[in-house]
Every structure is written in structure tokens, then in C-alpha cells.
Chains A and B, each alone.
Chain A
Amino acid sequence: MSEAIMIRDAVCSFCGCLCDDINVEVEDGKVSRVRHACRLGSSKIMGHGRMQNPMIRKDGVLVAASFPEAYDRAAEILLAASKPLLYGWASTSCEAAKKGILLAEEVGGVLDSTATVCHGPSVIGIEEKGLPGATLGQVKNRADTIVFWGCNPAEAHPRHSLRYSSNSCGKFTPQGREGRKIIVVDVRETRTSKNADKFMRIVPGSDYEVISALRMLIAGKGEILPDEVGGVQKADLADIAATLKSARFGAIFFGLGITHSRGRYKNIDNALSLVAELNSHTKFVIMPMRGHYNVGGIGQVLAWSSGYPMSVDFTRGAPYFNPGETAACDLLAKRDVDAALIIAADAVSNFPHATAEGLASIPVIQIDPYENPTTILSDVVIPCAIAGVEVEGTAYRMDGLALRLRKLVDSSLPSDEEILAGILESVHKLRQRKANEGA
């Protein structure tokens, strides 16, 4: 047995916090211990059962295949389709995303990310209004008032509060939790609300109305408000509005409680207006609590390469973006795609059942380290090395900061980027062969 190697300050590739203080012990080429990570990150870095071999469905059964065979079959599927969907991209590197965009352009497909089932409405709202943002470091060092709206970081981003927000100690916030006012807005009590100074429980689906009420109070028009809005008494709303206005530096973090509820992107649009108006009185910023560790990264890479942050249709010869038409769920719901490549995401688990059924009737290529429900519906399965554990690469934290993921252990499996390059090569080869046959 070889001596354990300690890797310090590795970046955790689980959630949008991208905690960069993880210490990992590696023994005999395997991760033996993870320090500083939360339960979620630790579980990922320690590893689970993995798929080892590519598989191709033959006579209804997935059978082992070689990587070149899997790349060729994937290329055949993508080239035979008139409108393939290339979906996922949130749990892999920006380098893989770049290669995927090239593949989508080559085969004339639609590329969409998991943002469309989480913070897609935020992306649309931000496009409408712009984002008064900040880095997490600024929040840590300066924020004396923090609002968590429709999010539960205690369970979804467990180290957020200690590293960046409510309970962190910064340069101008040395008292940490004691020196900050914490407000939680949600439809139910959560572990996060238990850490709040003020918990405002609202009626489900009333986010837009409650935000509007706060905007009116901040604008000095509270006298025309009804006595209760969204289940909250006017006096409580006035109290919250006064707290927000009196902040030295305020930050609103919002989650899927607001993007998945009635109003969706209009809720975000309204919240951005609230923050813009608060900036007439004090300094205020707002940030979506991004879930998968690099869901921000695919948005960045897509935006700089196509002009659009998600749901980009490359079938027309020029990028086209119209969520509601070009988003993965809409395409599958309308049965408007005839093949799919699912990478670094589990569409079958995360889409509504009736939507995911759209995958059952078309050929599906899966690229993933793990077996999951999408594997059950797949026709080609290609196992990959895990970005941020077995492969290095670039990822974007929830505040838009780019960080370099490190390789902690070796893997015999190819990276997502290498697999996509292999499929691209097969696409070129197949196209050339067809051109030769035609000639």
C-alpha cells in the first residue's frame, strides 16, 4: 500500500458554491477521505458505483461495445435525425460544453441545458432587466442584510451560509451571523428559516404580489396596499421593507421556490426591479442559487459562442433562441425532436413524466459516469470520467466567477470532452463516407 497523498484546496464539483477549500486524501489511486466538504460534495468525491463499459442496444438489450463502436453508433443516430436534442451540460466542464456546441452546429441540433428546468426563468428575467450582481466574496465581506427567497441552502447548498452568506465572517462583517439581519421568505418552514431573524411565510404562488407590495412600500405608496398580501400582514411587509431600505449592503438569494411557481420568469423580473429600486436608497444585489456546479458555465459558453444562454436551436443555419419553443421540455412535449444526446444530466428523472415519455420513442445517447433512469431509455450509453474528480477543467460559480477544477485521481475512462471529440470525428468520417458513396 502506498502512502496517502493529501491534495489541498481542491474545488468541489457538486453545487454552484464550488467550494475551493476541500482537502482530499488519495491512497492507492483512490479517494480515501474528504475533508471540509458537505454531505453532498463528500458523497460525490468519495464516489459510487460506476458504469465501466460503453453499451449499445441490440434487439432491445444493452450489450457491451467498444468506445469507437459507441462513437460511430452515436454519430449515425445524430446524422440520421432531422432535429436532434443535445441536453444537459450542467455537471461537466466548459471545455466539454464548447465541444458539444460544435457538435450541435455540425449535426444541426438544439442544445439546451438543465437551466431550463431550474433557473431558466431567472436567465430570462435577467435578460429582460439586467442583473445587479456581486461576487460571493463581496457578500461575505460586506452584506449586513441577507434575504433567502424561495431557497433552502441549508439542504441544497449546505456550506453557502458559512462560507459566503449569513454565518460567514468577512472583512467588514467580523461579527458574522450576529452582525447580520437574515430574512427568509418561503411557503414552509425549512432548516434555513430556522436560522432567520424574520421568517415571512407566503401563500404558494404569491411571490409576484408580495414583491410588488414591497416595491410599493419602498416607493412610499404603502397607503394603497390592502391589509394582507400573499398571506402576509401589511405591518409585517412594512417591517421587511424598512429593514431592506436601512441595510448598508443587502443581498437577495433566490431559488426554485420562485422560478418553479406561478409567475416563473415574471417573478424574477419583478425581483430585479425591487433590487434596482432599493439601489436608490442603499446598495443591494441579487443572485440566483444555481444548483449544478457548472450550470452557470454552459450558459456562459453558449452565450459567448451563440449569443444565447440556453435553448439554442442550430437547425436553421444560424443560432435561434425562443424558450417555450426551443427548450428541451417544450420540444419533447410537442414530440418535435427525433433523437437525443443526454450528457451530464438525468432528463428522465428531472422532466415531468409525460415530457420524458418523449424520449421513449426516439433514439437516445447517454454520456454519464453513473447508471440512472435515463440509462433505461438509452440506446447508446457511454461512461465517462468525472469532471472535477478525475478530469480538470473550467467551471463557473453561481456568482459568475470562473474556477479551475482539479484532477484528484486517474481514470481509465475518457473525459466528456474526449467522448464528444470522438463522436465528432465519427460524424466527419460518416459524412465523408456518404459523400464518397454519392460521388
Chain B
Amino acid sequence: MATMISGRTLAQGAGCESKMSPDFFKAVSVCHLSENDFKSLGLSEGRNVLIKNDYGQVVLTAKMDGGLPDSMVFIPMGPWANAIVGMETGGCGTPHFKGLEVDVAATDSPVLNIRELISGMGACCHV
């Protein structure tokens, strides 16, 4: 069990007006983990993690981040992070984007590209 936070990064910001590009995919479909968590999950560069909670699940490329405390994962703001955010807004209009409880596990499943990710949004999606 870990706490998920999301936020801006330079690469995410630079790519946020070319969201269908490979650069944006690379910048945003990642999950940062502390060094201890990265090692304890048996991860190595390029391996993927499955992040899961009551709201959904998403596969991301794992990345070691020395600035993170243990049991906290950071995902750049964007459609991949939002796969595990719930609809509740606490009466103020803003969803609870940060501080979500998630399960983290190493996986061999691939990271979905943007069209694959969106295609999960109901039968009416026009992909």
C-alpha cells in the first residue's frame, strides 16, 4: 500500500500541447518510486508497475526517484494518473487528485498508449 500524488514536471508541461506525441507519452506514463520501494519490488530500469485502487488501475513505467519518501509514488499529471482518481469532489468541484491510497506491484503488462487508454472510456468512444 502506498500514497499516490500527482503533479507537474518540466517534460509534462513542455508536452502538454502535443498530447498525442510519443514525447508526451514518455514524459507522463511513468511512476516515480523511492529507491527502497523500487528495489523491494524487484524493479529495474524499463520495468513496469501496476497501480491499482478502488477507482481503477493503470500500468506505468517505473522510475527511481531519490526525492520520494518510502510508500509514496508520484505520477506526472495527465490521463494515466487520472485513471486511478475518483469522481468525488467533496462538494467543492475539485476531485481528490492527490493523497490516494494505491497498491503497487511489478508487472509484465504493457503501458497503454493514449488511444488505448481512452478507448476504455465507455462504448461510445470514437477511437
A binds B: yes
Instruction: Name A's B-contacting residues (CB within 8 A).
Output: 14-15, 39-40, 43-44, 48-49, 57, 60-62, 112, 116-118, 120-121, 124, 152, 155-156, 158, 187-190, 193, 201, 204-205, 256-257, 259-262, 264-265, 291, 310-311, 323-324, 326-330, 333, 346, 348-357, 359-361, 369-373, 376-377
- Given known A117-B94, A349-B19, contact A329–B72 (CB-CB < 8 A): no
- Flag if A372 contacts B67 (CB, 8 Å): no
CA distance A158 to B8 in the complex (A): 11
The answer on a CB contact under 8 Å between B10 and A121 is no
Q: Give Cα distance in the complex from A57 to B6, angstroms.
A: 34
Q: B89 at the A/B interface (Cβ < 8 Å)?
A: yes
Whether A264 and B19, one on each chain, are in contact in the complex, defined by CB atoms closer than 8 angstroms, is: no
Q: Are A328 and B93 in contact (CB under 8 A)?
A: yes
For residue A190, which residues in chain B have a CB less than 8 angstroms away from its CB?
A: 67
Interface digits, B10-31 against A, CB 8 Å rule (1 contact, 0 not)? 1001111111110000000000
B73 to chain A, nearest CB (A): 10
Q: Which of A156, A204, A324 contacts B92 (CB 8 A)?
A: A324
With A117-B95, A353-B79, A360-B124 given, can you name 11 additional A-B contacts, CB distance below 8 Å?
A: A40-B14, A48-B21, A49-B18, A57-B126, A116-B94, A155-B10, A155-B13, A349-B79, A353-B83, A355-B95, A371-B19
Q: With A and B bound together, what is the CA distance between A31 and B113 in angstroms?
A: 31
Contacts of B114 in A (CB 8 A): 373
Q: Which B residues lie within 8 Å of A39 (CB)?
A: 10, 13-14
B94 engages A354 (CB within 8 Å): no
- Is the CB–CB distance between A354 and B17 below 8 Å? no
**Which residues from A are CB-within-8-Å of B8?**
152, 155-156, 256, 291
| Chain A residues, CB < 8 A from B88 | 333
- Interface residues on chain B, number (Cβ under 8 Å): 55
Q: Are B14 and A43 in contact (CB under 8 A)?
A: yes
Q: Are A349 and B87 in contact (CB under 8 A)?
A: no
CB contact between B19 and one of A324, A351, A372 (< 8 Å): that residue = A372
Contact assessment for B82 and A377 in the assembled complex, using a CB-CB cutoff below 8 Å: no
B92–A265 touching, CB < 8 Å: yes
B43 is an interface residue with CB less than 8 A from chain A: no
Of all chain A residues, which has the CB nearest B90? A264
Q: Which residues of chain A are near B93, meaning CB under 8 Å? A: 112, 116, 120, 310-311, 323-324, 326-330
Nearest CB of chain B from residue A374's CB, rounded to whole Å: 9
Decide if A120 touches B13 in the complex (CB within 8 Å).
Answer: no
A112's nearest neighbour on chain B, judged by CB, is B93
| Nearest-CB residue, chain B, relative to A370 | B17
By the criterion CB–CB under 8 Å, are B94 and A353 in contact?
no
A189: chain B residues within 8 A (beta carbon): 66-68
- Which of A39, A326, A355 has the largest number of chain B CB atoms within 10 A? A355
